[in-house]
Every structure is written in C-alpha cells, then in structure tokens.
Structure 1
C-alpha cells in the first residue's frame, strides 16, 4: 500500500488560517502551484483524499467538486453528520462521508488508493487526529512568506512527546512557496 501523507500550507508564524478563519492569504500562488511539476506528480500518485467537513464546506462543494478539481480520486470526508445533499462525482471523483472516526477514514482511503498515496488535506483537527493516532507516514508543510499574527495553528493538540519528525526534503515549489517533507516516527 502507498503512504499516508498529511499536508497543509502555513504562514511563517505557524498559522493555517487567520483569526477570521480564512486561508486566502496563504494561496496567492495557487495557479502557479497547480502547474508545478512536484504538484502534478503528487496528484498523479494520489489514489484517495481525506478531508474534514470544514475543508469540504470551505467553498461550495457543488462548484469545486467537478472535472476540474485537482484530485480526481475518491474523497473521504470525516464528519459527525453527512450532508443531505452532495455532489455525485464523475466516475473518478466520488465522496464517502465517514462518521465512525479517523481510523475508519484512513482504512477506507488506503483500500481505495491501492498502491497509490492517500493525501490528508485538512483541516487542522483531521490532521491532528491522524498524527496523534500514528496514521500518517509523512507530513508535508508548505511555508508561505506571510505573517498572520494569530489564527488557527496546525500544531496544537498534538502528543509531542510521542511524535518525532525527520526532515527528508526541502524544495522551492513555486516562486514564493517552500515545501518541507518530514518522515513521521513515533516513540513508545
């Protein structure tokens, strides 16, 4: 089976959303990112995606969940309550709403992905649960040269005594984005 990789874009001062809950300032290079060779390689090697309900609803899913969405794979949405209506997908892109916990979401996504990677694309709570449960193999952090001052931190609520990170790669992904990949190990 492929790796399980959690990834987020972060400000230099460690926030993934500003104090108003917006991540807009962290993606001024989004169009450039979509064309970056490393991003294209990552999407081609991804077999399933996990996201939390807040990320799913960040923008109208009926607008973004189409043939243009970069991940044309099964998407597993971690939630307490599935929505009454959701996009039906297109044969490649599909939605499964997982209500029985992060372990179930990762298990289902790994099965759907086969030998390809599972990408956990947020939000903070979903990634924190996966890191604390030992369900991730790698953590990918994209740093943006932006200071938000305050907001939502990815690194809250982590069992830092058991979580160990080993930097394996640093790359300039776009003209302003630096990507860092860490192998995750846990201590007993």
Structure 2
C-alpha cells in the first residue's frame, strides 16, 4: 500500500538552512547506507515545491542525476515557460491546484510504491492537510542558531507520533515516525 512520507535533514537546533539560506553544511556528514538504498527502491513518486525543485539551479539535471528516478510532481502557482528535460523514468508534472491534487496524482503514478515529499513549505502544507503517513527526520551534527525552522507556523496542530526506527551513522541520526493522531 502506498504511504506518503515527508523527509528533511535539519540541524540539531531545528533549522533546514542557515541565516543566508544555505543548506550544504547539513549534508557534510552524509553517509549512504542500506536504509537509504531501500528507501530509494521503494519510492515511486516525489512531490516537492518549486523552491526545492529550483534549489540546484539547472532543473534539466534531474533527468540525468537525481537520486529518485521516478515521476516528480512540483507544487507551484505558475509552471515555468520552458519544461525541464525528462527521461523514460523521470517525468515532471507542475501541479497548480494544491497539495491534495499533487498527492493524489503522485499516489497514482507511484503504482503502489511510496510517495516522498520534499521541501519545507510543501511539508508544512502536507502536515496541515493531514496527508502524511510518516516523517523521516535526519539530524545533522551542527547548530546553526538562525535560519528556517522546519516546524514553524504549525502552532494550531498537535501531531502524535510513534517511532518506527532509528538509523545511526558515524555522524548523524535519522528517525522515522508514524503519524498516529493529528488534531
């Protein structure tokens, strides 16, 4: 059965980027592992926001080198004038009618595999809409002090979680949670 998971890497103090908007330092200690390989294998579609999609600069590079070679659904108010490069596995759909539509389309495209959600804004929308089944939080070994907080602007929500698993590498910790109740 398809599940929707929202995954992010953040600093120990909860920031997804620093005061200048940079996030590279969060991945300095990244180490590939078997769990990551399994996650990539079990993911059938990705939903992300336009900011996340354009963060790397060259959007044509997704077709050549993005780790998820699956259909991508980019939530945006306005699609770009030029459609990015695709390949036989990775297609790009710009969704302009909200998170519910993006998740619905992604679930169909995933064909029973999981749907990964990337990006702070889209993740918050997903949580507010009650559409997330699991959270995947990777904690990088750094304190940033300022920047963009992952769980800011969710004050009206109370979400209970159940820890599913913890993956530890030399430098970081990844925790998977099941969303069990949201009010």
Scaled by the length of structure 2, the TM-score of the pair is 0.94
- 1:37 Cα offset (Å): 1.1
Task: State the match for 1:132 in structure 2.
Answer: 128
1:128 is paired with a residue whose SS is: helix
The aligned length equals 183
2:124 is paired with a residue whose SS is: helix
Scaled by the length of structure 1, the TM-score of the pair is 0.92
Task: State the match for 2:171 in structure 1.
Answer: 176
Pairwise CA RMSD:
1.5
- 1:171 Cα offset (Å): 1.2
2:36 is paired with a residue whose SS is: helix
* Contact kept? 1:8, 1:121, Cα under 8 Å: yes
Structure 1: gaps spanning 5 or more residues: none
* Contact kept? 1:134, 1:186, Cα under 8 Å: no
- 1:63 Cα offset (Å): 5.2
2:65 is aligned with 1:64: no
2:78 is paired with a residue whose SS is: coil
1:176 is paired with a residue whose SS is: coil
- 1:163 Cα offset (Å): 1.6
- 1:166 Cα offset (Å): 1.5
Task: State the match for 1:27 in structure 2.
Answer: 27
* Contact kept? 1:19, 1:150, Cα under 8 Å: yes
